[in-house]
Amino acid sequence: MLVKLSLKALATPRNKTGESMDLNTVCFIMFSFLLLGYLLLEGFDYGVGMLHPFLGKSESEKRAILQTIAPVWEGNEVWLIAAGAVLFAGFPDVYATLFSGLYLALLLILVTLILRGVAFEFRNQDNNPAWRKFWDWSIFLGSIIPALLWGIALANLLYGLPIDGEKQYVGTFGDLLSIYSLTGGLFFTLLFLLHGTVFLTLRLDHRFTPQVRKISLTTSKYAILLSAGFILLSFLRTDLTAKLAPAVALTALFLALLFCCRYLKDHQYVLSFIFSTTAIISTVAAIFTGLFPRLIVSSLNPDWSLTVYNSASNPLTLKIMAVTMAIVLPAVLAFEIWKYHIFRERVNINNAAIESHKLLWEQLHWQLQQLITHSRNLITIIKKGKKTLDSGVNSLDKVPETATANELQKFRELIRYGRQVAKLVAKMITRLRN
């Protein structure tokens, strides 16, 4: 009964006094929450990926760094998929306009995320240093490019895009680049880098803490300076000054970065992570509270902006989406809590090295089994060939079509088996050297 009453309250249209929330607002809040969850959780993934090529000297250290995010990064992508589903079903006009106007930026995000996912899987498939270096830099590019483009995209939603009266994007890729949007992109990149470094202080082996802390302090100082520029430009280039909530959120953002830096100096890493998280929440909250009830601001005419009302689906679709997400979101949150509880322990570098050696010896064991199999086949063929030759058959071309001929035919495979054995031995020697 309580659930029915809650859903009924959500479905009640907003009256003139604004006492209740309409479905358009509910879907807007759900989309904002899901995108915030993605940026919050994927933010430290981006930060760790940006640091990966520069942090850690040995292979075991680099494996340990990746192991901090390897069990969780795929699950973090679910938040983005869910946010896209809400946007597609709840606000199809906004979805269409974004994917036409920001097509190149969103395509770059998609391609780099795919490249990063492939890099996680392919990196350890070969011991060649050049191979691993290529995938390490792929992880770097797959982290820094999406971070930059997400900042540019979110800043442009608030700054304004050339949207005409037909709800169509009529600009070019150059219209996405401005002082404000580039500042937003750089700020988000530094914010995610800071979030990732603080995350590593909590998850990585203690011997890495001094080095990571040094990077965190440097990043936090630059993030504070850039946040000041982003906040100033937000007040000068957007209409955030017209509302109290965005101003409060931007103030909270600046204070959160200051506290994060302070607690890093005091070696209080849990509090530092809490305030880096607060900084991301405050940034996203400032953007979406400043946007509401708009979703995309039109730089051509404010009346052409896409809002939660002029770009929404029909009420039935909004109601189905609201009910569905009301059921799914608690399950997603419960799963996320369970996931991070399972992988809460620090990653030990020695354990990572053991895992690396374990994988190597498993490969050697498989190759040794192949060698034994080929050797047995080789011995069998030699015995049968010797028996046939002792019986007086000296020409392979004149062998009668009998059982003896079949045995001699197998003898022709001797060279092929020999080559395979030689290759296996060479691989084993190479792996033992490594």
Read off the pLDDT of each residue in 98-105 and give the average, rounded to a whole number: 84
CB 149 within 8 A of CB 108: yes
Return the closest-CA partner of residue 112 out of 82, 147, 148, 141: 141
Helices (runs of H) and strands (runs of E) counted in the chain: 15, 2
- Between CA 84 and CA 31 the distance in angstroms is 8
Report pLDDT for 172: 82
Quote the tokens at residue 249: 């959120």
Read off the pLDDT of each residue in 75-86 and give the average, rounded to a whole number: 89
Read off the pLDDT of each residue in 213-223 and give the average, rounded to a whole number: 93
Report pLDDT for 430: 64
Quote the tokens at residue 229: 């520029």
Report pLDDT for 378: 64
Coil/strand/helix, residue 343: coil
Read off the pLDDT of each residue in 379-407 and give the average, rounded to a whole number: 57
Write the DSSP string, 99-149. HHHTHHHHHHHHHHHHHHHHHHHHGGG---HHHHHHHHHHHHHHHHHHHHH
Give φ, ψ of 373 to 5 degrees. -60, -50
Q: What is the pLDDT of residues 278-323, one digit of tens each?
A: 999 999 999 999 999 999 999 888 889 999 999 999 999 999 988 9
Answer yes or no: is pLDDT of 367 > 80. Answer: no
Q: How many residues does the chain have?
A: 434
Return the closest-CA partner of residue 44 out of 269, 224, 232, 266: 269
Answer yes or no: is pLDDT of 90 > 60. Answer: yes
Read off the pLDDT of each residue in 247-272 and give the average, rounded to a whole number: 94
- Between CA 326 and CA 313 the distance in angstroms is 18
CB 279 within 8 A of CB 260: yes
CB 219 within 8 A of CB 197: yes
CB 127 within 8 A of CB 39: no
Report pLDDT for 416: 63
Read off the pLDDT of each residue in 149-175 and give the average, rounded to a whole number: 88
CA 236 and chain centroid, separation: 33
The pTM (predicted TM-score) of the whole model is 0.75
Q: Which of 19-23, 134-138, 211-215, 302-306 has the lowest mean pLDDT?
A: 19-23
pLDDT band at residue 13 using 50, 70 and 90 as cut-offs: very low
Read off the pLDDT of each residue in 207-228 and give the average, rounded to a whole number: 91
Quote the tokens at residue 261: 């830096």
- Between CA 401 and CA 393 the distance in angstroms is 13
Tell me whether residue 245 is exposed, middle or buried, using C-beta atoms within 10 angstroms of its C-beta: 0 to 12, 13 to 18, 19 or more.
middle
- Between CA 338 and CA 351 the distance in angstroms is 23
Cβ of 392: how many Cβ atoms within 10 Å?
6
Which run of H or of E encompasses 155?
A: helix 129-159
Report pLDDT for 171: 83
- Report the chain's mean pLDDT, rounded to a whole number: 81
CA dihedral 358, 362, 365, 369 (to 10 degrees): 170
CB 374 within 8 A of CB 362: no
Return the closest-CA partner of residue 281 out of 73, 32, 40, 27: 40
Report pLDDT for 423: 66
Report pLDDT for 17: 34
Q: What is the pLDDT of residues 334-356, one digit of tens each?
A: 888 888 888 888 887 765 444 44
Higher-scoring residue by pLDDT: 13, 83: 83
Give φ, ψ of 55 to 5 degrees. -115, 130
Read off the pLDDT of each residue in 233-254 and give the average, rounded to a whole number: 90
CB 30 within 8 A of CB 325: yes
Report pLDDT for 183: 95
Higher-scoring residue by pLDDT: 21, 51: 51
Q: What angle do CA 258, 264, 266 make, to 5 degrees?
A: 105
